[in-house]
Structure 1
Amino acid sequence: MTAFSLEPAQLAWCAELRALAAERLRPLAEKGEPGRVNRALLAELGTLGLLPRLFTSGALDLCLMRESLAHACTEAETALALQGLGAHPVHAHGTEAQRARWLPRVSDGSAVAAFALSEPDAGSDAAALTLGAEPDADRADAGGPGARPSPVPTPLAAHRDGPSAWRLTGEKCWISNAPEADFYTVFARTTPGAGARGVTAFLVPADRPGLTGTPLDMLSPHPIGALAFDAVPVTADDVLGEADRGFRVAMGTLNLFRPSVGAFAVGMAQAALDATLAHTTAREAFGGRLRDLQTVAHQTAEMALRTEAARLMVYAAATAYDEGAPDVPRRSAMAKLLATETAQYVVDRAVQLHGARALRRGHLLEHLYREVRAPRVYEGASEVQRGIIAKELYRTLDATTEEAGS
């Protein structure tokens, strides 16, 4: 891939987003309650036309949005990203009826979406999930409580020999926007013992009987919770994609969003770097400005170097996704890994150069220090990204070797 640079129109849009985040979104974020969904902030994201862009933009535009918002208002960035993560499977794999019901409300911020993949014992190893989807023959035969014909054919219409109704039983954990979301993209095991091949994605409204949730008190300020499924009823009309192929839905969503997690991290790293440049210029120490000390200047140079390298890898991965390149999983994993690890380093260095003031509650760097840790864990921990990268490298090698020997 050639060297990457943004067009003037893209640069202008990023500047506009940073200004909107500072002037219109940050005041709403500051009024929100940590650990709760900020519906006023979501509504403003909809009013500004940013939520609808989740479904009309490519991966690079998504990265530019997330990076720009994160630079000025991480709460706005996270609210936008969680809407996209929860609703993208509906946009990409939903029926006409599912999309018509939920996507307009996600776009205007009136409905909160959530992506429910992780479980207490199946976080990084997503293929090991155990939330069970048991066939519900009685409900299928009866059409279920209040059942009515689907206005469009469902993806399961061709699966005449399979079940058309299930009961979900089990738990989900570490789910962003839970338990306050209005609907969940839920991944459940429909075929025991089949690994990744036996998972189905369901669209589950929050008001389904048997579905309850509990908030979790986490380091990150956005809402995260656990969900309990007690024989929650779902039918073929709730399936996203095809039965037993839900893992593809999950991985396709993560391949799109992993580079943009990196963009979120780059936005935070840039904010920390900018704060450090301003502080070391203004701060008098040891008979001069802090920036005149070689050890400080070298640290800021290293922070800038790593931030720019991460940014370029994020943009390259997003562009590869938009172009349909075959190496998207590897590039996405690399971008997410490098950017999140870089942001952790840059924010930590920024705190060190600011000293005790950066640890005071309410300081920008105190906020970033709490925010920057989670991206190294969610949507695949750094160790998982390294595993994906290695797997893709060896898969490519084996394919090349096999082709050469044939």
Structure 2
Amino acid sequence: MTAFSLEPAQLAWCAELRTLAAQRLRPLADKGEPGHVNRALVAELGSLGLLGRLFTSGALDLCLMRESLAYACTEAETALALQGLGAHPVHAHGTQAQRARWLPRVADGTAIAAFALSEPGAGSDAAALELRAEPESRAEPESPQGEGPPAAPALAAAPDGPARWRLTGEKCWISNAPEADFYTVFARTAPGAGARGVTAFLVPADRPGLTGRGLDMLSPHPIGALDFDAVPVTADDVLGAVDRGFRVAMGTLNLFRPSVGAFAVGMAQAALDATLAHTAGRDAFGGKLRDLQAVSHQVAEMALRTEAARLMVHAAASAHDADAPDVPGRSAMAKLLATETAQYVVDAAVQLHGARALQRGHLLEHLYREVRAPRIYEGASEVQRGIIAKELYARQEAR
């Protein structure tokens, strides 16, 4: 099944991507080491021109890429998505120098990008992040006795250089950490200002004071924590404007949330197709498994939910490409429905396959591990419900 809105050329491109994923990307993915960046796989994505399309395609094309790759090779899909997530702020908000240095390398797969937003105490509540960007200050003379405390230090700049900060704190659950070549880092530049006091910085991995460690997670792709010990950054590293980094983060997430849904739809479709093949060929109770009404109805429900999720993902992506006013709500709906649907479909597929689906190396065993995380990252399902409700009430009050 396909969404009614896709053109023949789009359908052909999706088919081509599935073939590429199966024939050229899957073998490289199989050679990768779980928990580490597969640079050979990323380089192949670059040579195929798929990474470069991250910066020239709209949200719908991004969804088609992610769904098609996920169907045949989730590792390739995730590698592509993480390059886009980490580098999109540079593409959308970077200076000419930042873009010239990093985007060509991201596009050809020789530089690994990462999006560093989450913290141990600020996951779903991204506005509560605590990584500090402390201004470097000139030494201030002590105030004469009786004249009160010295004035607050001003943001310092070298005589011929930009303003400077030191980043201090921790990031956690960062995909591609600690092996990325650069990070889009969100830090607090205005204490107590909530979302209005966050700045986005482009931080190369070789900056002094920046260290990291891998985390042993359920998902096979690399996820780690980063420690910032007075890591130096300057105004030349700012993405967008000072104290306006939350807009950078939310703009990136509004683009990528529907495509998280597309990733989920790709996994759901793979699980559904595997289930169709299994139930059509499996002998049970004097016939085929598909002849049991309970089984056929279950498969029908899986197909129904998968197609509904696909349509909502495409609708949200199309709204983003059309610069519609309700993009945050639509993106949240798409991610929520698609990720919850994929969890249901993969779980149902495992049930219909029986014990064989739990064996290491089985497609469904792999999907069962992969499908859980998208309900959490880039805003958990509960966060998406909050966004949807907020948008609904804002629309009602505006009438």
Same fold (TM over 0.5): yes
* 1:130 matched to 2:130: yes
> Take 2:177 and 2:398, find their aligned partners in 1: how far apart are those partners?
42
Q: By how many angstroms is 1:214 displaced?
A: 0.6
2:59 corresponds to which residue?
Answer: 59
> Take 2:374 and 2:96, find their aligned partners in 1: how far apart are those partners?
33
CA deviation string 1:229-286 (max 9, x = no partner): 0000000000000000000000000000000000000000000000000000110000
1:18 corresponds to which residue?
Answer: 18
With structure 2 as the length reference, what TM-score do the two structures score?
A: 0.94
Q: By how many angstroms is 1:211 displaced?
A: 0.3
Q: By how many angstroms is 1:140 displaced?
A: 4.0
The runs of 5 or more residues in structure 2 that have no matched partner are 139-154
Q: 1:140–1:235: 8 Å Cα contact kept in structure 2?
A: no
> Take 1:73 and 1:346, find their aligned partners in 2: how far apart are those partners?
18
The residue type paired with residue 158 of structure 2 is A
Q: By how many angstroms is 1:399 displaced?
A: 1.2
> Take 1:303 and 1:375, find their aligned partners in 2: how far apart are those partners?
18
Which runs of structure 1 show a deviation greater than 4 angstroms over 4 or more consecutive aligned residues?
A: none
The residue type paired with residue 350 of structure 1 is A
CA deviation string 1:32-58 (max 9, x = no partner): 000000000000000000000000000
3-state secondary structure, aligned to 2:243 = coil
CA deviation string 1:8-31 (max 9, x = no partner): 000000000000000000000000
Q: For 1:247-286, list aligned pairs within 5 A.
A: 247-286=246-285
% identity of equivalent residues? 86
Q: By how many angstroms is 1:137 displaced?
A: 2.6
> Take 2:358 and 2:341, find their aligned partners in 1: how far apart are those partners?
20
1:142 corresponds to which residue?
Answer: 158
The residue type paired with residue 343 of structure 1 is A
3-state secondary structure, aligned to 1:137 = coil
Q: For 1:307-326, list aligned pairs within 5 A.
A: 307-326=306-325
3-state secondary structure, aligned to 2:207 = coil
> Take 2:226 and 2:259, find their aligned partners in 1: how far apart are those partners?
26
> Take 1:40 and 1:220, find their aligned partners in 2: how far apart are those partners?
19
Q: By how many angstroms is 1:142 displaced?
A: 3.2
* 1:210 matched to 2:209: yes
* 1:49 matched to 2:49: yes
The residue type paired with residue 300 of structure 1 is V
2:144 corresponds to which residue?
Answer: none
> Take 1:140 and 1:99, find their aligned partners in 2: how far apart are those partners?
26
> Take 2:238 and 2:296, find their aligned partners in 1: how far apart are those partners?
55
3-state secondary structure, aligned to 1:251 = helix
With structure 1 as the length reference, what TM-score do the two structures score?
A: 0.93
1:189 corresponds to which residue?
Answer: 188
3-state secondary structure, aligned to 1:271 = helix
1:341 corresponds to which residue?
Answer: 340
> Take 1:76 and 1:135, find their aligned partners in 2: how far apart are those partners?
40
Q: By how many angstroms is 1:149 displaced?
A: 5.9
Q: 1:114–1:184: 8 Å Cα contact kept in structure 2?
A: yes
How many residue pairs end up in the alignment? Answer: 381
> Take 1:141 and 1:396, find their aligned partners in 2: how far apart are those partners?
45
1:74 corresponds to which residue?
Answer: 74
1:95 corresponds to which residue?
Answer: 95
2:147 corresponds to which residue?
Answer: none
CA deviation string 1:156-195 (max 9, x = no partner): xxxxxxxx11000000000000000000000000000000
The residue type paired with residue 20 of structure 1 is L
Q: 1:321–1:328: 8 Å Cα contact kept in structure 2?
A: yes
The residue type paired with residue 90 of structure 1 is V
3-state secondary structure, aligned to 2:398 = helix
